[in-house]
Amino acid sequence: MELTPRETAFLLDEMDEIANDETRYPSVRTEARRLREKAETALTEQ
């Protein structure tokens, strides 16, 4: 799935908010952090 830079920025921001939201389950926060890191890596490899 291809994302525009705007969509990518939005998703990275959302994942960052979820990862830092202390009201969420730790597993959700960990998964959000993992997805954010994976997306950032994919962006730098393009």
Cα torsion 23, 26, 32, 33: sign: positive
- In angstroms, what CA-CA distances link 10 with 20, 30? 16, 19
pLDDT of the residue at 18: 96
Q: How many domains does the chain have?
A: 1
What does pTM read for this prediction?
0.78
pLDDT of the residue at 46: 65
- Summarize pLDDT for 1-46 with one digit per residue, the tens: 687 888 888 999 999 999 999 999 999 999 999 999 988 887 787 6
- What residues contact residue 6 under an 8 Å CB cut-off, 6+ apart? none
Q: Where in the sequence is the domain holding 18, given as residue range(s)? A: 5-45
